[in-house]
Amino acid sequence: MATSPEDMQAKKLTFRKFKDGEHEYRNRQEQIFQAGWSHKCPTYVHRTPPCQGACPAGEDIRGWLDIVRGIEKPAGEMSWQEYAFRRATDANPFPAVMGRVCPAPCEAGCNRNQVEDHVGINAVEQFIGDWGLENQARFEPAAESTGKKIAIVGGGPAGLAAAYQLRRRGHDCTIFDERAELGGMMRYGIPGYRTPRDVLDGEIKRIIDMGVEVRMNTRVGRDISVEQLEKDYDAILWAVGTHSGRALPIPGADAPNCLTGVDFLRAFNEGRLQTVSEKVVVVGGGDTSIDVASVARRLGHITEIHEQDRPENVVLGHTAHDVASTAKRQGAEVTLISRAPIERMNAAEHEVKDALREGVNIRGCLNPVEVVLDENGRARALKVIELEDDGKTPKPGTEFEIEADLIVAAIGQRGDLQGLEDLDNGKGFIDADQHYQVPGKPGHFVAGDIVRPHLLTTAIGQASIAVESIEHYLRNESLGKRPKVDKHHFDLLAKLREAGLEPSEYDHTEKRGTSESDFAIHNYEDRSKQEIIPADKLFLGHFQYEPRHKRKEKVPTADEVLGHFEERMIGLTEEETVAEAKRCMSCGMCFECDNCVVFCPQDAVHRVPKSQRTMGRYVFTDYTRCIGCHICADVCPTGYIDMGLGE
């Protein structure tokens, strides 16, 4: 393998070319321009881009962006849309859902932020996902069955993603879920105006159609024992999610009209909750608290309400609202408070802006200290204390009360592990090792929020790793170490096979140099599992200013929000999607700009012949002509060229 400049400097070389005192060049020109040999010629190094490094699902984001923009092309008659769909869903089977609701840490990591603005990765992903639904793209399970059976407990994003990956490998799997419908938090935790139910249902159906058995309304630990699963299945994956919210840890929080955000959103998404109270206070600061506040603004309140119709009775399952009786709703006064300043809240910035536009009153630097009760034991106000934020330790300030008819705590959640106490780590979660095995329980694996509540895409990424671990377990193989950069990566050898350019078979005879042989992949090094390429490795001067092509949103105003349950996100057109994908800088992979070919003063860099060319094999260096001048590396926009070969 080629050696990077940093490695060359770090290692003490033992080969002696000069006598003592003659080991240094007198000047750089003499170092580079001399007759006998070249100083550090270019080699082509594949690294992981930061968007992919920041993606919890480990998607090959650069890969499907390069497909959309037309650089990487499919083999045969496949359309670029289908090819992009296949690449995107290799890691994530929910592109249409994630393209809408993922807070996109990939965009925060995008190197294009150093030029003008990040690439709209979510917008392109939504287009790919919507294309798959509109064109009824299907997933095909593996051709051969392994005969192995895996039980998946929980039908949310982690459980469904695991079922998808297991079926691709030929394993049979059964999903057990205690609810009436699949989807987990995608269905019961996120409002339908953010994840349209036809989109969610379509992406779930595609997975089930792979041959996944489903047993709904079945709770493991109650309707079927863990021991029975261990007997009937070769492995068990626990993906039960965290469907129990945390109550406020303050006096008075056990009042009947104090609820958790998890229970509130479940009641709304099940269609039971049709109205709220006049004055609602939400405590939180994350995306769940924003959803609660936005839903409350949409539902509004009615002035004359019967005891059984109070929101808390509906949320807790004692009754359900009659839609007809809530026809004359009025707007609710909704206040969301957070310990953090508004600009440092965990919720996505655009979600905060949307909530403000919808009329939610958001106040930062407030800490709840007590629920104030009336003579009937119901909450009438939330006592809070102002926090003076100096960027270090917040200092308490003035106390005051915020009037409330309903208080909703969205401050965290935990798993409901009743009947599964042997798995409970004492905190309402299930422990996992780096391979997502349950420690001390061979054959038991775990993924999703029950490990640690985080993003939907995090659960999907954990499911992929857990399935790899299950695969090794079923084969009695050692798990080894996970890669340093643990993602789905572009595979040049697989791409060469796909394009019919696979290297010939090596006959294992001794060779003196392989540059003229066709059994090896020359002039290429894959460091994608070890390195993420930063912006300072790129030639940013290549990229011209181009504004991001932004999706439009139908966000209602405060006057329009009541009863507004339409989808807010308007996807990009195909033309806009391609244009946005072209803003990708393809960090760590050649995007065929020809800079190295054009600027090489020795005509040493050439395009690979068209018949042998594919993604990752666009240029090569003629080392008989290269003088090691570094120009090709200096003008490479993507940081794909290292001066690491030679000396």
Identify the CA nearest to 94 among candidates 65, 137, 51, 63: 137
User: Cβ neighbours of residue 426 under 8 Å, at least 6 residues apart?
Assistant: none
The pLDDT, as a whole number, for residue 39 is 61
The pLDDT, as a whole number, for residue 312 is 84
Sign of CA dihedral 72, 76, 80, 81: negative
Four-CA torsion 468, 471, 477, 480, nearest 10 degrees: 10
The whole-angstrom separation of Cα 444 and Cα 63 is 33
The whole-angstrom separation of Cα 5 and Cα 7 is 5
Strand partners, 362: 336
User: Cβ neighbours of residue 200 under 8 Å, at least 6 residues apart?
Assistant: 97, 183, 186, 187
Identify the CA nearest to 141 among candidates 57, 207, 215: 207
The DSSP call for residue 326 is G
Structure token digits, residue 1 = 């393998």
The pLDDT, as a whole number, for residue 20 is 60
CA angle, residues 327, 333, 335, in degrees to nearest 5: 140
The pLDDT, as a whole number, for residue 547 is 95
Dmax (CA) for the chain in angstroms is 98
- Low-confidence residues of the chain: pLDDT under 70: 1-39, 318-319, 321-327, 391, 512-516, 645-647
Buried b (16+ CB within 10 A) or exposed e, 514-532: eeeeeeebebbbbbbeebb
The pLDDT, as a whole number, for residue 505 is 85
The pLDDT, as a whole number, for residue 539 is 93
The pLDDT, as a whole number, for residue 318 is 65
The pLDDT, as a whole number, for residue 328 is 72
The whole-angstrom separation of Cα 457 and Cα 432 is 18
The pLDDT, as a whole number, for residue 71 is 94
The pLDDT, as a whole number, for residue 13 is 45
Domains of the chain plus CATH, in order, are 149-243+415-474 (3.50.50.60), 246-414 (3.50.50.60)
The whole-angstrom separation of Cα 259 and Cα 595 is 61
Four-CA torsion 509, 512, 514, 516, nearest 10 degrees: -110
**Does pTM top 0.85 for this prediction?**
yes
Q: Tokens 């051709």 label which residue?
A: 143
- Residue 28, judged by CB atoms within 10 A of its CB (0-12, 13-18, 19+), counts as exposed
The pLDDT, as a whole number, for residue 35 is 45
Following DSSP, what letter does each residue of 135-155 receive, concatenated? TT------SS----EEEEE--
The pLDDT, as a whole number, for residue 235 is 98
Stated as kind and residue range, the H or E segment containing 8 is helix 5-10
